Amino acid sequence: MVVSRWLAVLALVPALAAGCARGSPPLLRSGQLRGANILLVTIDTLRRDRLGAYGSTAGLTPALDRLAAAGVRFTDAHSHAPMTLPAHASILTGRTPRGHGLHVNGAARLDDSVPTLATELKRAGYRTGAFVGAFVLDARYGLSRGFDEYDDRYPQGDATTFKLADRRAEEVVKAAGDWVLQAAAAAGPGPPGPGRWFAWVHLFDPHTPYDAPPPYRSGRSPYDAEVAYTDATIGRLLDRLTRQGQLEHALVVVTADHGESLGDHGETTHGLFAYESTLAVPLLFNGTGVGRAVADTPASHADILPTILDLAGVAIPANLDGVSLVTPPAGDRPIYIEALEANITRAWAPLTGLVSGDWKYVDLPMPELYNLRADPFEARNLVAAEPARRETMQRALAQMAAGPSPAATAVPVGEDTAARLRSLGYTAASAAPARRHYTERDDPKQLVALNERFNTALETFNEGRAEEALGSFLALLRERPDFVTARTSAATVLIATGRAADAVALLRAAPAEQASAPEILARLGTAHQHAGQLKDAAAALERSRAAGNQNPELLNDLGVVYAQLRRTADARAMFDELLRRDPTSAATWTNLALAELSAGRPDAAAEAFRRAVVLDPSNAQAWQGLGAATIDRDRNAAVEAWRHAEQLQPRDYDLLFNLGMVLADGDRPAEAVPYLTRFLKEAPRDRYANDFPRVRAAMAKAKR
């Protein structure tokens, strides 16, 4: 059997006489990894109990288990929130959601004033790169600050569906490995120092929908297959970096953003509850000179930033919620937890709580109290049996919540963003009307079946059963008319099936207190646009913006509608504002170019299209637009652009027609034959019936 070199390197770490230290992790020391390269791996939706290092016997995670065996493994680590964006914000800022202001996916971006792990390491001289697997961590949400490279390249979504293809782990780790080796080459030979690197790698694969590559599926559940595939991919990344000498002086940190319920407590996925299935996470520290230890002291995501900086000898920012685990915290330290997605998007009761020592308290209309040591599956609610403990923890939570919580930069969800988040299994965050009083009827435990029905409706639509999905959404609205995301999802189905006018009516029928909610107005604008009511679309989108919607997608949608209305200056203003915020957005450059093209400014359009394809060479729309913008002035450049587009979209028959006909009319007509042949063979007969005679004539001419 071949043993990977990185495994051999890890095996050189000396074991303690007793085999393993428990309790405090004495082998973590301030500054012991000064000048080391740093690799942070976060795995989406990974249950802690799937790792062999945490007791699994399924053999799913040999790579992670070897990392754990040769490093420090924390047995009692918790996420602060079972949602990807808030959890990663805590990992990268050292703050709980109350401290960084992000509570759900897609509703806000990290404020520019908040230091991050990347900003601090960059200030210390590190090259910094991030490689993320899904849209929920898109650069627009603010986690990109401090990174020299923030690779969030994944397929574009369709705003009228719930579908989006996220990137497989192998694509993410290839990009990460390429960048690390390029960064190392730029630094030149010699030991790590001024050219050291920090890479964050986010792997999304264990998230629903579970679809691991076939070799990992045999004999495993779909979820376990994803875990096994992700672990194998991590192993290949570590092996590659070791072969190139990049882990000879390095710190490797691995955690999950949250877990997955898999049916526990009636929840299939995550986000509704705060049980251990979704909040207990693995946490591994492995590095040069770091010995073997099992640490039972409580840890949290907010502790990761200060611990990494402490080990690397970099100054730790002030005002953090987390602490460096180099100095083990008290065993009964309170760790804040929350699950607020259902409250923010549906006006259900807010869920907050604390974990302290063996105890967990969850504050809800039907409160919960568990002894996690005696009852790890949280089956026995002790709130009635332990009134004193409940009161003590309730007071501690109230004191924690009484402090100021910074306002993150609001980014209410736009239509395209909402579709992408829904496609990933998340309810796009829209602000439900605030309420002052909640009853047991609003407790998530009472509504878990409703939550499951909503998620099932999303899956039903993704499987192509639009009418069935629509019926499910409408049934939910009959039970809970204030279920905002059920209403906007039903509207999306109507838009996708060509019933935009019905979507307008459904959105206008929202309860009076929701009529001016930014998400309702944004979706209403989209419905009007698809119904051809462009002035009404602009008005609704403008009202959404006036209601506080600062989402980049809303500005984009407004820009598109303004361009369709021939309000070119207004469209340009929207796209210019977006580019001021993110000058590397290929999609924005493309939309600006389309606006310029429709306004009769082909030179300006061509320049914007060129910027788009440099930023994203896979942007077929930009290549196609570049051809259209240059065809009258530089036919060869246009043909070259259209060739690029055809490679990316071989079944775009308008493109195929244009490319073939232009070539047939040029000085090398024979080059048109393959394109025109394909057009005649593949193009839909009903749509292109009038074009076939012209194509046959061009073919005959080209073959002479």
> 3-class SS at 43?
strand
Q: What per-residue confidence (pLDDT) applies to 462?
A: 85
Alpha helices in 111-260 (DSSP H): 117-123, 169-187, 222-243
Alpha helices in 16-162 (DSSP H): 62-69, 84-93, 97-100, 117-123
Band (242; pLDDT cuts 50, 70, 90) = very high
pLDDT in tens, 361-418: 999 999 999 999 999 999 999 999 999 999 999 999 999 887 666 645 555 444 455 5
Whether the pLDDT of residue 634 is over 70: the answer is: yes
Whether the pLDDT of residue 117 is over 60: the answer is: yes
> 3-class SS at 89?
helix
Residue reference for tokens 């896979």: 618
- Report percent pLDDT > 70 for the chain: 88
Band (420; pLDDT cuts 50, 70, 90) = low
Band (425; pLDDT cuts 50, 70, 90) = low
Give the Cα separation of 235 and 3 in Å (integer).
11
Lowest mean pLDDT among 9-13, 62-66, 553-557, 690-694: 9-13
pLDDT in tens, 127-159: 999 999 998 898 888 899 999 999 987 765 544
**CATH 3.40.720.10 given to domain 32-156+171-325:** yes
Domain range annotation of the chain: 32-156+171-325
DSSP, res 370: E
**What average pLDDT does this structure show over 583-609?**
92
Lowest mean pLDDT among 294-298, 427-431, 621-625: 427-431
Q: What per-residue confidence (pLDDT) applies to 135?
A: 86
**What average pLDDT does this structure show over 582-610?**
92
**What average pLDDT does this structure show over 479-490?**
90
Specify the higher pLDDT residue, 456 or 402.
456
**What average pLDDT does this structure show over 12-18?**
30
Amino acid, res. 578: L
Q: For the stretch 663-695, what's the b/e string if a residue is b when 16 or more beta carbons lie within 10 angstroms of its beta carbon?
A: bbeeeebebbbebbebbeeebeeeebeebeeeb
Give the Cα separation of 288 and 248 in Å (integer).
7
- CB-based contacts of 433, cutoff 8 Å, min separation 6: 347, 482, 513, 514, 517
Q: What per-residue confidence (pLDDT) applies to 405?
A: 60
Q: For the stretch 3-33, what's the b/e string if a residue is b when 16 or more beta carbons lie within 10 angstroms of its beta carbon?
A: ebbbbebbeebeeeeeeebeebbebbeeebb
